Amino acid sequence: MLFVEFRFLWFFLAVFCVYWSLRENRSRKIWLLLCSYFFYAAWDWRFLFLLMASSALDYFVGMMLARTKNPVTRRGWLILSLCANLGTLAFFKYFNFFVSSAAELLAWLGLPASVHTLNIILPVGISFYTFHSMSYTIDVYRGKMRAVSSLLDVAAFIGFFPQMVAGPIVRASAFLPQLQSLRKFSVVDVRGALVLFLVGFVKKACIADGVAPIVDKYFDSPAAYSASSAWLGVLLYGIQIYCDFSGYTDMAIASARLLGYELPVNFRFPYLARNVADFWHRWHISLSTWLRDYLYIPLGGNRGNRWFVARNIMLTMMLGGLWHGGAWTFVIWGTLHGIMLVLHRQWSEWETRPARLATIVDWIAWPLTVYWICITWIFFRATDLNHAGVIAKSFVFWQSAGTRDIGIRMIWIVVLLGIVHRLNARGVFSAWWRRGSSEAFAAGYGCSVALVLVFIPAKYTPFIYFQF
Amino acid sequence: MIASTESPRTNFSLSRGLLDVGIAVLAFVLVCAALNALLPFPEIDVVSAELRFFKEHRDEFDTVFIGSSRIHHQISPAIFDRVMGEAGHPTRTFNFGINGMFPPESGYVLERLLSTKPRLKWVFIELDELETRRIPKAEASRRSLYWHDWKRTSLVLRKILDGDDQRDARDLFFFHTALFAKNFANIGRKIDLSWWISHLGKKTAAPKSLGRDGDGYVPQIKTMSEAEAVAYEAGLKRAVVQAELRRVSPSTERAYRQWADDVRKAGATPIFLITPTRAQTKFEFRPESGVAGAVMPFNDAKGYPQLYRNEIRVDADHLNETGAEEFTRLIADTLSRLINDGRIQ
């Protein structure tokens, strides 16, 4: 069930009406949990047991961590949780990748091995709910939060349907307290949530799904296209992935908000970033902060000499890339970001630019950053390294024997979307719809939805981040 | 970025909330209806092109055949006009048969065709039960969506609810309701808008589906293989034994009554045609149904054995070019006989 489908509307309407008609918090949580499991089962009910097992295990580990103060025992429980969570993730997501990579390595060393990969179905959202789940046990282990005595709470947190399958990655310490208090409808920002949902819907259904066929055509046979089309194709993919993912996030945040829960912000106009570090403060923020707090800092973070810090950055970004999927293209995507983060860190230490040059440098930095991000998207989208190589050659060196063209009018669409992105960042669209009576807002909303539906494609493209 | 900054609403009430929901739904419905009326006709493969062609040449025709591939491949306007002319009833015929176009889609297209204000004398409508089934390959297509207006959908829904087979009724009911909702909400209609803008002022080429003479007839050259012929004959024997006279369902009757009235309002005479298919069920309307129009049932292997010979058939439902010519002549002869006898005017 996708947020953009009609059936989600009916599903959410039922969830919303029953949820707010229940008086007790416990009943509401039971209802939410049932609905969340139904939502997940609509995709594949068999993997529901995996989700339940993950919730039960982390609840149990949390309870065990609360019972003992012995550091060795506590560490043992944490390791059990990490092994179970990461082991499950590794099996479903990386088994075939590791096996085939090992076979390739052996073949390269002159030791050809016969290997068998498995036909494994990737449970949707496993990367997300594993991280939700792990944040709970790690925070309890670190003493940042107390273990929760209710299995219902832990299960409802991990399985909460708006964020379960594609984030934002929610910390237990931020969400569990919300679950434990009775939410009041009177403080729900209904108008804001409805507008946010519609904005997310437009981003996903109108923009991302609108450019998807063009992007798919280009990436299916990049060698057939000219170098200028490579630019357009990659730029459009940048737009597609942003609108697809941030659109999903907007709808997730809005759905949660309508039920009285706040999810963390995941995007802050990433394409306005002026360097790669800035980009990671704006793109998939819930993942970047998760990696920072649960991987980068435990690795040593910024402490130690520059090589040690560079190692930490590179490891974090490579693993962050691998988190997206079992393929070398993702590892390279993470590595490219890591390299640029290390270089930017050095640059920031050396840089002593005069104040009057700051604006000029900023203006040069912005296109350079977007350019670099686009280069990294090539690896993110490519099916393999050869495929990425063909596109990168065309995009970076303007070398392509292809003659097909995407079409000049797409440039105007890119420019227009860029202007909207910029204006939105300046808050041009952020408040005017709050003015006026609720009746006027309701009428305007109904009209807007009717207009938006004209511009959506007849067929939806699945959310890109569902595959992760 | 839309942050949750709203201050708590202390004056929230359920009745006010419901009123707002009602206003939003009403606004939505009104805008959808307005857009539905304003947006250009959807660009549907073959259908739209043929409608455009017909609109441009509407004064050139006074007789139209409308229906499925059984019309498209089996009625030769040239032969029909020749035979009618020889009988002293000159006609200028257009074949508006489109592959896979069954009622109620054919009724919708007929309505669009009549809205072009043609000067018609005869309108032959292929008679068949209303099609309610899901066709897996086509169900997600725009072709299955565009005719789902309320008039057509209500007919289909009523037929589903009246049906004896309730096993698939719920699934079909939701399927057609969802298509109606999608069509009413104009989902994905930007494609028609951009097509319309990009073709503004441009003359579009005549569609290939109009055939070599540009009259909508495309004959099928193929004949049946030996194995196919054996299977066909066995099936036909069974069908002849099981032949029956069956009244069409009430919803189908209602649909044909509407279409017959529309045709008559346009100044033409409706004639219902059953093509020579293997199925030997002869449909008829109840006398009290109010559907006034002659029915020409040619799916009668005993009455029209010449149309059931292996060598003139492509398959159980379709005739090849030779068969189509023979069938067309037979229709023209029947019509002129009916006119001469004064049974039809």
Predicted confidence (pLDDT) per residue in A147-168, tens digit: 999 999 999 999 999 988 777 9
Give the pLDDT score at B251.
86
A13 inside domain: no
Name chain A contacts of B187, Cβ cutoff 8 Å: 453-454, 456, 458
- Chain A hits for B26, CB-CB cut-off 8 Å, are 443, 446
Which of B184-209 are b and which e, b meaning 16 or more Cβ less than 10 Å from the residue's Cβ? bbbbbbbebbeeeeeeeeeeeeebeb
Pairwise CA distance, residues A99 & A93, whole Å: 12
A184 Cα to chain B: minimum distance (Å): 10
Is B13 or B183 the better-scoring residue by pLDDT?
A: B183
What span, in angstroms and rounded, lies between the C-alpha atoms of B290 and B312? 37
Q: In A94-129, which positions are buried (b, 16+ CB within 10 angstroms) versus exposed (e)?
A: bebbebebebeeeeeeeeeeeeeeeeeebbbbbbbb
Cα separation, A137 vs A127, whole angstroms: 16
- Taking only the tens place, the pLDDT of each residue in A405-438 is 887 788 888 889 889 888 888 887 777 788 888 8
Give the model's pLDDT for residue A466.
63
Cβ of A189 within 8 Å of Cβ of B31? The answer is: no
Contact B27/A443, CB-based, under 8 Å? yes
* Mean pLDDT value of segment A383-404: 86
pLDDT over 90 percentage in chain A: 52
Residues A149 and A220 both lie in one domain: no
Q: Which residues contact B40 (CB under 8 A, 6 or more apart)?
A: B192, B193, B195, B196
Look at residues A158, A182, A206 and tell me which one is the last residue of a structural domain.
A182
As a whole number of angstroms, the distance between CA B158 and CA B253 comes to 12
Q: What is the span of the domain harbouring residue A415?
A: 190-462
- Is residue A207 located within the same domain as residue A329? yes
Residue A346 is predicted with a pLDDT of 85
Tell me if B2 and A453 make a contact (CB, 8 A cut-off).
Answer: no
A97 compared with A317, residue with greater pLDDT: A317
CA A179 – CA B71 distance, rounded (Å): 65
Confidence band for B6, pLDDT divided at 50, 70 and 90? very low
Residue A141's pLDDT is 93
Contacts of B175 in chain A (CB under 8 A): none
Size of chain B, expressed as the number of residues it contains = 345
Q: Do B19 and A449 touch (CB under 8 A)?
A: no
Establish if A13 touches chain B: CB-CB under 8 angstroms: no
Chain A positions in Cβ-Cβ contact with residue B189 (cut-off 8 Å) = 454
Domain presence at residue A468:
no
Looking at A182, A215, A237, which one is the last position of a domain? A182
Point out the residue among A192, A257, A446 whose CB comes nearest to the CB of B28.
Answer: A446
pLDDT(A121) > 90: no
**Element spanning B97, H or E:** strand B93-97
- State whether residue A442 sits within 8 Å of chain B by CB: yes
Check A192 against B6: CB less than 8 A apart. Answer: yes
Q: What is the ipTM of this complex?
A: 0.79
**Dihedral over alpha carbons A52, A53, A56, A62 (to 10 degrees):** -130
Q: Is A428 near chain B, with CB under 8 Å? A: no
A270: cis peptide before it, omega within 30°?
A: no
Task: Report how far residue A161's alpha carbon sits from residue A31's, in angstroms, rounded to the nearest whole number.
Answer: 12
Average pLDDT of chain B, as a whole number? 87
The share of chain B scoring above pLDDT 70, in percent, equals 94
Average pLDDT over residues B144-164: 88
Chain A CB contacts of B142 under 8 Å are: 458
- In this complex, do B27 and A6 lie within 8 Å of one another by their Cβ atoms? no
Dist. CA A83–CA A33, nearest whole Å: 26
Closest Cα in chain B, distance from residue A257 (Å): 8
Q: How far, in Å, CA of B294 to CA of B189, rounded?
A: 39
What pLDDT digit, counting tens, does each position of B263-282 carry? Answer: 999 999 999 999 999 888 88
Contacts 24+ apart (CB under 8 A), A4-11: A4/A201, A4/A204, A4/A205, A4/A251, A4/A456, A4/A460, A5/A460, A6/B178, A6/B181, A11/A35, A11/A38, A11/A39
Q: Which residues of B touch A456 (CB under 8 A)?
A: 187-188, 190
In this predicted structure, which of A62-71, B27-36, B129-138, B148-157 has the lowest mean pLDDT?
B129-138
Of B2, B15, B45, B184, which to mutate for an interface test with A (greatest number of A Cβ within 10 Å)? B2
The angle at the Cα of A123, spanning A8 to A29, to the nearest 5 degrees, equals: 50
- Are A150 and A226 found together in one domain? no
Terminal Cα-to-Cα distance of chain B (whole angstroms): 71
Q: What is the least distance, in Å, from the CA of B189 to any CA of chain A?
A: 5
Residue in chain A lying closest to B6 (CA): A189
Three-state SS for B104? coil
A230 and A262 in one domain?
yes
**Nearest of B141, B150, B61 to residue B101 by alpha carbon:** B141
Per residue in A278-297, pLDDT (tens digit) is 999 999 999 999 999 999 99
CA distance A447 to chain B (A): 5
Closest CA to A186 of B16, B288, B156, B306: B16
Judge contact between A223 and A251, C-beta under 8 A: no
Does residue A467 or residue B37 have the better pLDDT?
Answer: B37
Nearest to A248 by CA among A371, A370, A159, A161: A161
Total domain count, chain A: 2
Q: Which residue has the tokens 């939700």?
A: A132
Q: Indicate the pLDDT class of residue A118, thresholds 50, 70 and 90.
A: low
Same domain, A445 and A299: yes
In a domain, A5, yes or no: no
pLDDT at position A175 over 60: yes
Q: Which residues pair with B125 in a beta bridge?
A: B66, B272
- Tell me, yes or no, whether A169 and A289 share the same domain: no
CA atoms within 13 A on the CB side of B80: 27
Average pLDDT, rounded, for chain A: 88
Angle at B172 between CA B171 and CA B178, to 5 degrees: 90
Reported confidence tier of residue A403, pLDDT bands at 50, 70, 90: confident
Q: Identify whether the C-beta of residue B275 lies closer than 8 Å to the C-beta of residue B65.
A: no
Interface of B with A (CB under 8 A): 1-6, 8-10, 12, 16, 19-21, 23-29, 31-32, 35, 39, 140, 142, 145, 178, 181, 185-191, 193
pLDDT tens readout for residues B311-334: 899 998 999 999 999 999 999 999
Predicted local distance difference test score (pLDDT) of residue A104: 79
What's the pLDDT at A109? 79
Instruction: Kindly state the average pLDDT of the residues A136-141.
Output: 93
Q: What percent of chain B has pLDDT over 90?
A: 49
Q: Which long-range contacts (CB under 8 A, 24 or more apart) does A395-399 make?
A: A395/A227, A395/A230, A395/A231, A395/A234, A398/A227, A399/A227
Nearest CA in chain B to A460: B188
Chain A, chain B: beta-carbon pairs less than 8 Å apart: 100
Q: Does A17 touch chain B (CB under 8 A)?
A: no
For each of the domains in chain B, give its residue range(s) and CATH number, in order of start.
45-133+204-340 (3.40.50)
Task: From A152, A182, A212, give the residue that closes a domain.
Answer: A182
Whether residue A270 is found in the same domain as residue A136 = no
Residues A26 and A153 in one domain: yes
Say yes or no for a CB contact (<8 Å) between A450 and B185: yes
- Give the CB-side neighbour count of residue A53, counting CA atoms within 13 A: 9
Residue B7: is its pLDDT beyond 50?
A: no
Residue A394 lies in a domain: yes
* Nearest Cα residue to B152 out of B101, B107, B100, B99: B107
User: A258 with A350, same domain?
Assistant: yes
Cβ contact (<8 Å) for B9 and A269? no
Same-domain pairing of A108 and A178: yes
Is residue A336 domain-resident?
yes
Given this model, what pLDDT does residue B165 score? Answer: 60
Residue B54 has pLDDT above 70, yes or no: yes
Query: Which chain A residue lies closest to B3 (C-alpha atoms)?
Result: A192
Contact B185 A189 (CB under 8 A): no
Local confidence band at B8 (pLDDT 50, 70, 90 cut-offs)? very low
- Work out the pLDDT band at B1, boundaries 50, 70, 90: very low
3-state class (DSSP) for residue B99: coil
Q: How far is B299 from chain A (nearest CA, A)?
A: 39
pLDDT over 70, % of chain A: 96
pLDDT digits (tens, 9 = 90+) for A77-90: 999 999 999 998 88
- What are the pLDDT digits (tens) for A439-455? 999 999 999 999 999 99
- Asked if the peptide bond before residue B305 counts as cis, ω within 30 degrees of 0, the response is no
DSSP tag of B302? T
How far apart are the C-alpha atoms of B329 and A95, rounded to whole Å? Answer: 70
- Kindly tell me if the per-residue pLDDT of B9 is higher than 60: no
* pLDDT single digits (tens) A209-251: 989 989 999 999 988 888 888 999 999 999 999 999 999 999 9
CA distance B94 to B216: 6
What would the pLDDT profile of B159-189 be if each residue is shown by its tens digit? Answer: 888 876 666 888 889 899 989 999 999 988 8
Which pLDDT score, from 0 to 100, does residue B176 have? 92
Nearest CA in chain B to A251: B2
- Among A52-66, A179-193, A451-465, the least confident range: A451-465
- Which of the residues of A are catalytic? 324
Is residue A351 within 8 angstroms of chain B, CB to CB? no
* Whether residue A96 sits in one domain with residue A128: yes
- pLDDT interval class at B3 (50, 70, 90): very low
For residue A449, which residues of chain B lie inside 8 Å, CB to CB?
A: 24, 28
CA contacts within 13 A on the Cβ side of A208: 24
Contacts of B31 in chain A (CB under 8 A): 446-447, 450-451
Residue A29 has pLDDT above 90, yes or no: yes
> Could you tell me which residues come within 8 angstroms of residue A245 by beta carbon, excluding any fewer than 6 positions away?
A166, A266, A267, A284, A463, A464, A465
Burial of residue A431 (CB within 10 Å: 0-12, 13-18, 19+) is: exposed
Q: Tell me, what amino acid is at A201? A: F
On whether any CB of chain B is under 8 Å from the CB of A199, the answer is yes
Q: Three-class SS string for A142-181?
A: HCCCCCCCCHHHHHHHHHCHHHHCCCCCCCHHHHHHHHHC
Chain B residues within an 8 Å CB radius of A187: 8-9
Whether residue A191 lies within 8 A of chain B, CB to CB, comes out as yes
Which member of B4, B24, B188 has the closest CB to residue A456?
B188
Q: Is residue A404 part of a domain?
A: yes
pLDDT for residue A206 is more than 50 = yes
Three-state secondary structure readout of chain A: CCCCCHHHHHHHHHHHHHHHHCCCHHHHHHHHHHHHHHHHHHHHHHHHHHHHHHHHHHHHHHHHHHHCCCHHHHHHHHHHHHHHHHHHHHHHHHHHHHHHHHHHHHHHCCCCCCCCCCCCCCCCCHHHHHHHHHHHHHHHHHCCCCCCCCHHHHHHHHHCHHHHCCCCCCCHHHHHHHHHCCCCHHHCCHHHHHHHHHHHHHHHHHHHHHHHHHHHHHHHCHHHECHHHHHHHHHHHHHHHHHHHHHHHHHHHHHHHHCCCCCCCCCCCHHHCCCHHHHHCCCCHHHHHHHHHHHHHHHCCCCCCHHHHHHHHHHHHHHHHHHCCCCHHHHHHHHHHHHHHHHHHHHHHHCCCCHHHHHHHHHHHHHHHHHHHHHHHHHHHCCCHHHHHHHHHHHHHCCCCCCECCCCHHHHHHHHHHHHHHHHHCCCCCCHHHCCCHHHHHHHHHHHHHHHHHCCCCCCCCCHHHHC
Q: Is A454 on the interface with B (CB under 8 A)?
A: yes
- Considering the domain architecture, whether residues A245 and A304 belong to the same structural domain is answered as yes
